[in-house]
Structure 1
Amino acid sequence: MYVSVVLFTADLRLHDHPPLRAALDGTREVVPLFVRDRGVADAGFAVPNRLAFLADCLRDLDSGLRRHGGRLVVRSGDLVEEVCQVVAEADADEVHMAADVSAYAHRREARLRRALEADGRRLHVHEAVTTALAPGAVTPASSDHFAVFTPYFRQWSRQRMRDPLGVPRTIRVPEGVGSEEVPSRAGLPGVSAGLAAGGEREGRRRFSAWLRQGIADYEDRHDDLAVDATSRLSPHLHFGTLSPVELVHRARGAGGPGADAFVRQLAWRDFHRQVLAARPAAATADYRTRHDRWRTERTAQEDIEAWREGRTGYPVVDAAMRQLRHEGWMHNRARLLAASFLAKTLYVDWRVGARHFLDLLVDGDVASNQLNWQWMAGTGTDTRPHRVLNPVTQARRHDPDGSYVRRWVPELARLEGLAAHEPWKLRGPERDAVDYPGPVVDLAEGLDRFRRARGRA
């Protein structure tokens, strides 16, 4: 009987899992394997919120495998070394895994392929597992990737996506392959107090409930900060407890403007991955340079700390940053406002903000995080690179009665309506009673500095 290893990475589920189904083709036994990759930790990506959510996902995956006769094997160390060790212990013939897009993932895959082939084993890498379409599935005639979303989305929408796969009925794991204990979030230090639960069962429960109760209003209300009408599925997409292919199929099956808007967001996720796959340097370097001379952590230390702590004096920005710290997650509109404020109003290097987000976001990944930051900083794929989001105007539009601000900035809880967005306008005893800082920068001054820096003053 042939034996295969299924290497789980950012695809921690049993539903619609092409590598697992391919490995089980015929009469194979499989070793479901997850490696706690030392390289990820060494690069600073193994942060508390994602470790806690990951632990939930791994425990749920192990539970699901056991319901079908299997179990999850967990190892820690260098991924290539650990996979090769498990292959040797199981006398496996091949390894199946999902494709990924980061430069680190590509290097790791190449190392693993060389090591396996040197020992007469095979590596099979499966596309459209962590994305709805493979990064290279659609390309323009003149380039290896789309640099603008709209034409990409037009082509993306015309493609036929594969049908989702069911869960295997039986998963047989060979004896004699040892495993570490499956990790738990219990006792992990530094985890955000409001961090959501992870795992495939939780992801599927949340998506099914949202299909019934939320998706119909998504187009009209997804930017509403107070109502929070988003799906909150991004952590499950990041860890792969939900399949993008299945989500597209089910959303299209639901139909309607809300479903169409949700599918468009899944296409944005694929869009960023095809950009990063083609231009891996965009994780750290400007995709399109504007020759900025950004303020750095050394030259703008006080402003950066005020931004990180949610003490900028602009309530909607501060609410966003406090939500991030408490939940390890942030509303998408709030992410745009916080990023615009740091990169353009404060004119701080976008990499400073991207790193802080990655330190806290449970859904933080290189493609979506870095390229969204670049989009907002005007160094990425935005066709209007010099736009600046005014936090007061945006707050009035997307938090009209101040509920979002009062939820996350309790110092302003007594202020009614729009007053919560401009506390600096209070006078005398009324202002003295509010323990909240004044603005770190005048918006007009920040806008002028940005325009001068970009040669547009």
Structure 2
Amino acid sequence: MAVTLVWFRDDLRISDNPALMAAAQSGDDVVACYVLDEETEGIRPLGGASKWWLHHSLSALAASLGELGIALTLRRGAAGEVLPRLVDESSARAVVWNRRYGLAERTVDASLKAGFSEDGVEATSYQANLLYEPWEVATGSKEPYKVFTPFWRACLAFRTPRTPLPAPESLQGPQLKSENLDSWKLLPTTPDWAQGLREAWTPGEGGAHERLDDFLDSAAGYKAARERPGTEGTSRLSPHLRFGEISPFEVWHAVQDNKDTSTAEDMRVFGAELGWREFSWQLLYFNPDLATVNYRREFDGFASEDPTPADLAAWQQGRTGYPLVDAGMRQLYGTGWMHNRVRMVTASFLIKNLMVDWRVGERWFWDCLVDADAASNASNWQWVAGSGADASPYFRIFNPVLQSRKFDAEGKYLLRHVPELADADNLHEPWKGSAPGYPDPIVDLKESRERALSAYKELPKG
């Protein structure tokens, strides 16, 4: 029997998986594989929280494939070397995968396609993880968009996202020798810092669809609720989308099928959040060094400062003396996730109040976030810094006190993550009263804001 090899990457699901469906419909035996590639130059190794998620997501995928009738083969190494060996071992006549969009990943994929073609092996890739390919939606002058709103408007006018595919009913194929998932040591051990992650998340395709269902059940009021970190007002689908446990097509159509007149505006706003993800990937596709180089090069002249070890540790550990910043950073480390508004506040505090280069924060979030996404993480940090596309203006400096008063007035979020504030006389400005066990502010907001604005005004005009 002929064999088709399915290479899983950021698409760890069996439903709406075009590559897997193509293999199932080929009539061939099917071999499924995942390659942990930490050796190919340019492919960014996963952070600690993402490794934790990947372990559980692969375990869930292996179980789902097992129910269909095949095993998941695990290999570790440079994909450009591992895939040809798997083709040889399985005697595959064809290889299928779903497309990736980072430059290093695209380079690997193109090289593999060329090599397989020379060897008479058919290699085919599919669109699976973005609603729109980065090159599909362009301006009238055939240039990539630099501003989100016209980009998303053009996307919606371009094409309705396709209907999701069902999962295959059954598969069969030979079982290849596989590495043991535990041997990859993706889970933390000494110390085991993942207890909060285990309590907060259920990685895998099943967990993704449960999360989507829960979100849709409470979608009314999303537009306002998503701004309040103290409530469960967001979808929390981001890590599931990042690892491809659910496709954006499934999310899009579920939203369209479940909205009514009472939720139409809420779902329009949520759809735009999917649009920001698409926009970020377009930015990365055309700017492969988005995580290391200012999109707006005039920001190369911004006078960032090397953080003192004490200040950087205070920010990372949530001990800055500003409750909203500290709550966010503790939520991040404890659960691998942070509310979006608080991400903006904590990033602004690091970049503009502490005058630390945005790349320092981007790397910390990359290591701590379960939804660390090569496109969104970099583009969002550049947005806050002012150096990115459609960026927040340089003079927008989030005031953590005003933000917590406006969006967490009762302090539900603050007290959940900074419990020592329960005895504070002034919850939002604890330094103005007694706050036993809580640190004093590490920087003055007014003075640091003026310092940042002065530095920004020295930038050359772009």
TM-score, normalisation: structure 2: 0.92
Between the aligned partners of 1:22 and 1:131, the Cα distance in structure 2 is: 18
Distance 1:61 1:333 in 2: 32
Instruction: Give ranges in structure 1 of 5+ residues lacking alignment.
Output: none
Deviations 1:163-206 (A, max 9, x none): 1000111111225x211234487664554321122111111112
Whether the aligned pair in 2 keeps the contact of 1:19 and 1:98 (CA below 8 Å) is yes
The 10-residue stretch of structure 1 (226-235 or 4-13) with the greater mean CA deviation from structure 2: 226-235
SS at match of 1:216: coil
Report the AA paired with residue 380 of structure 1: G
- Deviation at 1:283? 2.2
Distance 1:160 1:395, change over 3 A: same
d(CA) in 1 for partners of 2:249 and 2:315? 37
* Counterpart-to-counterpart distance in 2, 1:228 and 1:284: 33
Distance 2:219 2:314 in 1: 36
SS at match of 1:282: coil
Contact residue 12 and residue 245 of structure 2 kept, 8 A: yes
Is the aligned partner of 1:226 residue 2:235? Answer: no
Q: What amino acid is aligned across from residue 58 of structure 2 in structure 1?
A: L
Alignment partners' CA distance in 2, 1:360 and 1:44: 14
Give the letter for the 2:235 counterpart: S
* Aligned mates of 2:225, 2:452 — CA distance in 1: 31
Q: Which residue of 2 aligns with 1:269?
A: 277
Query: Corresponding residue for 2:316?
Result: 308
Paired position in structure 2 for 1:209: 214
The 2-side partners of 1:278 and 1:187 are apart by 35
What residue is the counterpart of 1:450 in the other structure? 452
Q: CA 1:231–1:384 in structure 2 vs 1: closer, same or farther (change >3 Å)?
A: closer
SS at structure 2 position matched to 1:348 = coil
The DSSP-based 3-state class of the residue aligned with 1:60 is helix
Partner of 2:428 in structure 1? 421
Q: What does residue 346 of structure 2 align with?
A: 338
Cα deviation for residue 44 of structure 1 reads 6.1
Between the aligned partners of 2:49 and 2:40, the Cα distance in structure 1 is 14
Of all paired residues, the percent bearing the same amino acid is 37
Q: CA deviation at 1:42?
A: 9.3
Deviations 1:327-348 (A, max 9, x none): 0111111111111111112221
Matching of residue 282 in structure 1 with residue 287 in structure 2: no
Give the Cα separation in 2 of the matches to 1:162 and 1:168. Answer: 18
Q: Distance in 1 between matches of 2:132 and 2:219?
A: 22
Cα distance in 2 for partners of 1:294, 1:12 equals 42
Aligned to 1:2: 2
1:296 & 1:95 partners in 2: Cα distance?
A: 49
Output the CA distance in 2 between the equivalents of 1:27 and 1:43.
Answer: 34
Q: Which residue of 1 aligns with 2:417?
A: 408
CA contact (8 A) 1:354 1:369 kept: yes
Contact 2:40–2:78 under 8 Å retained in 1:
no
1:194 partner SS = helix
Secondary structure of 1:32 counterpart: strand
* 1:239 corresponding residue in structure 2: 243
Q: Distance in 2 between matches of 1:280 and 1:415?
A: 46
Aligned mates of 2:10, 2:312 — CA distance in 1: 32
Distance 1:41 1:136 in 2: 24
State the 1:443 CA deviation: 1.1
**Equivalent position of 2:32 in the other structure:** 32
1:288-335 Cα distance to aligned partner (Å, 9 max, x none) = 1324334344x5433222111111111100110000010011111111
Q: Partners in 1 of 2:145 and 2:194 — Cα distance?
A: 36
Structure 2 counterpart of 1:21: 21
Cα 1:144–1:174, aligned 2, differ >3 Å: closer, same or farther? farther
In the alignment, the residues of structure 2 paired with residue 191 and residue 72 of structure 1 have an alpha-carbon distance, to the nearest angstrom, of 28
Task: Answer yes or no: is the 8 Å Cα contact 1:80–1:112 preserved in 2.
Answer: yes
1:27-426 pair list within 5 angstroms: 27-39=27-39, 45-127=45-127, 129-158=128-157, 159-175=159-175, 177-183=176-182, 188-189=189-190, 190-195=192-197, 196-212=201-217, 214-255=218-259, 256-289=264-297, 290-297=299-306, 299-386=307-394, 387-415=396-424, 419-426=426-433
SS at match of 1:55: helix
The AA in structure 2 aligned to 1:339 is A
- Output the CA distance in 2 between the equivalents of 1:282 and 1:411: 38
User: How many angstroms does 1:112 deviate by?
Assistant: 2.0
2-structure distance, mates of 1:79, 1:112: 9
Greater Cα shift, 387-396 or 184-193: 184-193
Task: Tell me the SS of whatever aligns to 2:290.
Answer: helix
Note if contact 2:230-2:413 (Cα within 8 Å) is conserved in structure 1: yes
Q: Structure 1 residues 420 and 413 mapped into 2: Cα distance closer, same or farther (>3 Å)?
A: same
Q: 1:77 to 1:145 in 2, by over 3 A?
A: same
Alignment size in residue pairs: 446
1:141/1:248 Cα in 2 relative to 1: closer, same or farther (>3 Å)?
same
Give the partner amino acid of 1:453.
A
Secondary structure of 2:4 counterpart: strand
Q: Deviations over 1:62-89 (max 9, x none)?
A: 1111111112111111112111111001
Letter of the structure 2 residue corresponding to residue 220 of structure 1: A
Distance 1:38 1:219 in 2: 39
Letter in 1 for 2:399: N
Secondary structure, in 3 states, of the residue corresponding to 1:167? Answer: coil
For the aligned residue pairs, the C-alpha RMSD in angstroms reads 2.0
Q: Deviations over 1:343-401 (max 9, x none)?
A: 11222100000000001101102100000000010000235421111111111111111
Q: Distance in 2 between matches of 1:19 and 1:179?
A: 21
Q: Is the 8 A contact 1:130 1:243 kept in 2?
A: yes
Are the aligned partners of 1:52 and 1:191 in contact in 2 as well (CA < 8 Å)? Answer: no
Q: Distance in 2 between matches of 1:366 and 1:217?
A: 30
- Segment drifting more, 348-357 vs 259-268: 259-268
Question: What secondary structure is seen at the aligned counterpart in 1 of 2:196?
Answer: coil
| Contact 1:300-1:348 at 8 Å conserved across structures | no
Alignment check: 8 A CA contact 1:7 1:96 kept: yes
Secondary structure in 2 aligned to 1:280?
A: coil
Distance 1:181 1:41 in 2: 25
Q: Distance in 1 between matches of 2:188 and 2:42?
A: 21
